[in-house]
């Protein structure tokens, strides 16, 4: 398979602090979406900027195929007085690329901005600016596009529209999407890179990451208040019902304890606001990979 990016033992430091530690990974050239995920400060942006040559490796190396890469930041900004077409013309000039009116028109059409020929970018919504950022990236005809938090500033409708656009772009190109919105990543990505504290803890197929977490189905208990949470935990413990608390404050109970759980419902029912059955998800697999779960064997190698 044709590798676009091949990274070996990459360490990037800021002073004494290693933002990336000994990262080895590669990205191959085939259409689709790679989710780049990790908690705040894990090193996602540093990795993207190191690949783009904006940060120097203190150790290791990054080999790039001789093919164009493009990047779109989370909230792309453009001169307010320009139209979308003028932004693309300016971008061609900046990249010393011959201006091609037909290509500009096709690109605007692809991102759904062709209907606003005279509207100034200053009057654009965030979603429209995100589309224009993607158009600027596409105009370079890259083999791979990095999108850093592409939906973070958008309302739910704008988010869905941009996700659809990303999926269309990914029909032809490799798109790396860095995001904290794991449900979005789960919906659109087929591959994953997972960073934690500057280390790459997983690369591969998204479904494999979820399967590796060896999760069972769970009952999810949302507790009415922190005050009664301890009471619920005590009742579960006394009745030998295994559970673990999630970051969001919910309690997760393995489905094998459902019967026992139903028996103690008269005691805990009044303290619970929501009870639902849940199954494997990227969000749960991620929490388990990052936080670890007591008494569970997790293998994320």
Nearest distance from C-beta of residue 54 to ligand ATP, angstroms? 10
- Name the residue nearer to ligand ATP (CB basis): 54 or 237: 54
Number of other residues whose CB lies within 10 A of the CB of residue 199:
15
- Name the residue nearer to ligand ATP (CB basis): 180 or 260: 180
Nearest distance from C-beta of residue 5 to ligand ATP, angstroms? 17
Exposed e or buried b for every residue in 155-176, given b needs 16+ CB within 10 A?
eeebbebbbebbeebbeebbbb
Nearest distance from C-beta of residue 272 to ligand ATP, angstroms? 32
CA angle 211, 212, 217 (to 5 degrees): 50
Residue 127 in the binding site for ligand ATP (CB under 6 A): no
Nearest distance from C-beta of residue 14 to ligand ATP, angstroms? 3
| Residues 264, 235 contacting (CB under 8 angstroms) | yes
Query: Which strand (E) or helix (H) includes residue 22?
Result: strand 17-28
Nearest distance from C-beta of residue 71 to ligand ATP, angstroms? 13
3-state secondary structure of 284: helix
Residue 16 in the binding site for ligand ATP (CB under 6 A): no
Query: Which strand (E) or helix (H) includes residue 289?
Result: helix 282-291
Binding ligand ATP (rule: CB under 6 A), the pick from 5, 19, 189, 236 is 19
- Name the residue nearer to ligand ATP (CB basis): 41 or 249: 41
| Residues 49, 30 contacting (CB under 8 angstroms) | no
Task: Write out the binding residues for ligand ATP, residues 25-54 only, by CB under 6 A.
Answer: 38, 40-46
Nearest distance from C-beta of residue 58 to ligand ATP, angstroms? 13
Residue 150 in the binding site for ligand ATP (CB under 6 A): no
- Name the residue nearer to ligand ATP (CB basis): 10 or 219: 10
- Name the residue nearer to ligand ATP (CB basis): 199 or 278: 199
Residue 21 in the binding site for ligand ATP (CB under 6 A): no
C-alpha gyration radius of the chain: 23
Binding ligand ATP (rule: CB under 6 A), the pick from 3, 14, 93, 277 is 14
Residue 66 in the binding site for ligand ATP (CB under 6 A): no
Nearest distance from C-beta of residue 52 to ligand ATP, angstroms? 13
| Residues 113, 131 contacting (CB under 8 angstroms) | yes
Tell me the site size for ligand ATP, rule CB under 6 A: 10
Q: Is residue 48 exposed (0-12), middle (13-18) or buried (19+ Cβ within 10 Å)?
A: buried
Exposed e or buried b for every residue in 70-87, given b needs 16+ CB within 10 A?
bbbebebebeeebbbbeb
Q: Which residues bind ligand ATP (CB under 6 A)?
A: 14, 19, 38, 40-46
């Amino acid at each position: 398979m044709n590798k676009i990016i091949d990274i070996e033992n990459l360490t990037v430091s800021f002073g004494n602090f290693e933002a990336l530690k000994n990262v080895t990974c590669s990205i191959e050239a085939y259409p689709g979406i790679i989710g780049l995920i990790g908690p705040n400060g894990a090193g996602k942006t540093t990795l993207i900027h190191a690949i783009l040559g904006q940060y120097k490796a203190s150790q290791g190396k990054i080999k790039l195929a001789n093919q164009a890469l493009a990047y779109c930041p989370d909230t792309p900004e453009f001169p307010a007085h320009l139209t979308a077409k003028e932004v693309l013309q300016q971008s061609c000039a900046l990249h010393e690329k011959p201006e091609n009116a037909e290509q500009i028109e096709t690109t605007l059409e692809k991102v759904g901005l062709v209907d606003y020929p005279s509207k100034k970018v200053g009057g654009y919504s965030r979603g429209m600016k995100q589309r224009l950022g993607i158009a600027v990236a596409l105009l370079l005809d890259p083999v791979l596009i990095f999108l850093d938090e592409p939906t973070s500033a958008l309302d739910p409708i704008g988010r869905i529209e941009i996700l659809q656009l990303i999926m269309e772009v990914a029909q032809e190109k490799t798109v790396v999407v860095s995001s904290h919105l794991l449900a979005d990543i789960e919906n659109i990505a087929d591959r994953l890179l997972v960073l934690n504290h500057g280390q790459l803890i997983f690369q591969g197929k998204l479904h494999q990451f979820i399967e590796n977490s060896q999760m069972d189905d769970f009952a999810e208990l949302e507790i009415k208040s922190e005050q009664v949470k301890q009471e619920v935990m005590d009742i579960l413990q006394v009745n030998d019902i295994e559970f673990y608390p999630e970051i969001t404050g919910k309690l997760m109970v393995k489905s094998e304890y459902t019967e026992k759980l139903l028996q103690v419902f008269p005691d805990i029912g009044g303290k619970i606001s929501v009870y639902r059955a849940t199954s494997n998800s990227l969000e749960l697999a991620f929490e388990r990979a990052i936080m670890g779960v007591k008494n569970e064997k997790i293998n994320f190698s």
